Amino acid sequence: MGAPPTLPLPPALAARVAFERGRELASKGKPEAAVEAYREAIIQNPDYAEAHNNLGNLMRDAGRSKEAEHYYRRAVDLRPAYGLAHLNLACLHHADGRHAKARAAYKKAIKARPDWAEPHYNLAILDKLAGDHAAAAAGFRRAVQADPTHGQSWNNMGLALRRLGRHREALAAHARAMAADSGNPRPRFNAGMVHLTLGDFEAGWPLYEARMEVDEVVRMAGLRTGPPRWRGEPIAGRTLLVEAEQGLGDTIQFVRYLPLLKSLPNAKGASVTLACDRAMLRLLSGFPGTDRLLEKPPARRPLPRGHHLTVSLMSLPAIFETTETAIPAQTPYLNVQPALTKQWATRIDGSGLKVGLVWAGRPQHENDRNRSLALTDLAPLAKIRGVSFYSLQKGPAEIELGTPPKGMKITALGGRFADFADTAAAIANLDLVITVDTAVAHLAGALGKPVWNLLSHVPDWRWMLQREDSPWYPTMRLIRQDAPGDWTTVIADVATSLRKHVSTANSTASKKTRTAPRPAAKSKSPLKTHAARKPKPKPKPNQKPKSKPTAKSRTKATRDSKRRGGK
């Protein structure tokens, strides 16, 4: 008797079997076989939305975006309330930069599953990228309402609140992020910056050190592994490599700590090497406290050998436990070679007050759209008499010098700068520098030059809040936006202040001219006049006449006089 005939499975059941086989194959890392299984499921049941969705995932992972989109769309057409497929389609659009389509798909995912944190989070990320920080903060809040343990939403909510100037709320959000995701260094790093912004250095510096664990910060700063990290232990007889990080302005701001290294206890015989950007080498040549200066190698190359320890330049404030009142703020701590200063003086020979201008930062900076402005925004300054303007601007914004504001005469210098030594020499010949938040602001401050730093409504942490001065640079004035994007009031303030500055400078110069000693008038008489001599006093009885002082006695008298404060 033969075996009973095998009955074919009903299409719905056959589709389910193929679908489960596809899931198993995908989990085992066999995507090609999984694709065939899902396609078999669709053949058995063309309306199988889950199979279309999962097949779309495999196409996406293989880099086949168009096919992935086809399968996702088929899934949501079959089941309009299929939240997962809407989310996957949105993420596909998001990754491809099609933000409008992504936004629409995220909203459909949220409509299908309002209590799902993921689409709220991703939609808020789009708002953040668009610069709508209020909408982003609200979106991240909806995400944590759906899932209070969603650490990424808490952290990003803190970032959005900081952009809105709500720093205390930002701190609370970062604290929730740290509690929800204790292994993630980003909330600690971000909380550190908020503390520093609020002037709480004691809490800020240790948290700011978490940046050394954030991959994108490490890549951006060019930091890498090498000798053990120095954390403040004795360095007597050891070689310490100090590695500059992040921007050129950061290097200028924090090199002030280098002279302090060898003043530490147990630092006898220590040797300090500074590795920095090539543009800084000539400026920092011979900088106090530095035994060796070298160009920082590219990120793909290792750190120089021959050092016992290494430390990031921006970690020194934490190691020295810097408070606001303990900042080493004596300026100038950078100097320019006299010959180079004299060389640039020939190019800065205008009349009146000599003012350097920088209106734009590096376009690659994450906050550049908020911190930079256009040369045309400085048009009100063109009406001020008694000022000669000099452009210290470098980079793409230099092209704006071809069409300056009407009436503004400005001499272009930035294009002639080979490095920051040239920039410093030019600044040394100026009376004032007006700049947005760039490395030039730090350079002018480090040189002890009067500098007006124009700041966006929510500035970088180092400028803190609600103050016109900086504890880092005694000669710096901070001029802040009253509202996000409002440069009009800032420039109006600059124009008013500059007029007063010119008036004061002219008044001082006039006063010096009036009080300068006049040369004695020549006598018209050909006769010479002589002062009458006083008669010599007659010696008293029994008093010996004074003898003439000898060379020895004159020397002694001179020494005695100097001891008493005489000349």
Nearest 5°: CA angle at 560, between 555 and 564?
145
According to the CATH classification, is domain 222-326 in 2.40.30?
Answer: no
With contact defined as beta carbons under 8 Å apart, do 453 and 444 qualify?
A: no
Helix (H, G, I), strand (E, B) or coil at 365: coil
CATH architecture of 11-183: Alpha Horseshoe (1.25)
Measure Cα distances from 531 to 112, 528, 537 in Å.
110, 10, 18
**Backbone φ and ψ of 374, nearest 5°:** -105, 155
Q: How far apart are CA 289 and CA 333, in angstroms?
A: 12
Q: How far apart are CA 15 and CA 53, in angstroms?
A: 14
Helical ranges in 377-479 per DSSP H: 420-428, 439-446
Give the residue among 422, 423, 376 at the shortest CA–CA distance from 402.
Answer: 376
First vs last Cα of the chain: how many Å apart?
135
Superfamily of domain 338-508: Glycogen Phosphorylase B; (3.40.50.2000)
Helix pair angle (117-129, 99-112), 10° resolution: 150
With contact defined as beta carbons under 8 Å apart, do 125 and 103 qualify?
A: no
E-state strands within 188-299: 239-243, 271-276, 292-295
> Which residue is it, tokens 């009100």?
380
Token pair listed for 468: 């016109």
* CA quadruple 296, 299, 301, 304: dihedral, nearest 10: 30
The CA radius of gyration of the chain, in Å to the nearest whole number, is: 36
**Backbone φ and ψ of 200, nearest 5°:** -90, 80
Q: Where in the chain is the domain with CATH 3.40.50.2000?
A: 338-508
Q: How far apart are CA 301 and CA 147, in angstroms?
A: 43
| pLDDT tens, per residue, the chain with 567 residues | 556 666 677 888 999 999 999 999 999 999 999 999 999 999 999 999 999 999 999 999 999 999 999 999 999 999 999 999 999 999 999 999 999 999 999 999 999 999 999 999 999 999 999 999 999 999 999 999 999 999 999 999 999 999 999 999 999 999 999 999 999 999 999 999 999 999 999 999 999 999 999 988 888 777 766 789 999 999 999 999 999 998 899 999 999 999 999 999 999 999 999 999 999 999 999 999 999 999 988 766 777 788 999 999 999 999 999 999 999 999 999 999 999 999 999 999 989 999 999 999 887 777 778 889 999 999 999 999 999 999 999 999 999 999 999 999 999 999 999 999 999 999 999 999 999 999 999 999 999 999 999 999 999 999 999 999 999 999 999 999 999 999 999 999 999 999 999 988 877 766 665 555 555 444 333 323 233 333 344 444 444 444 433 333 333 433 344 333 443
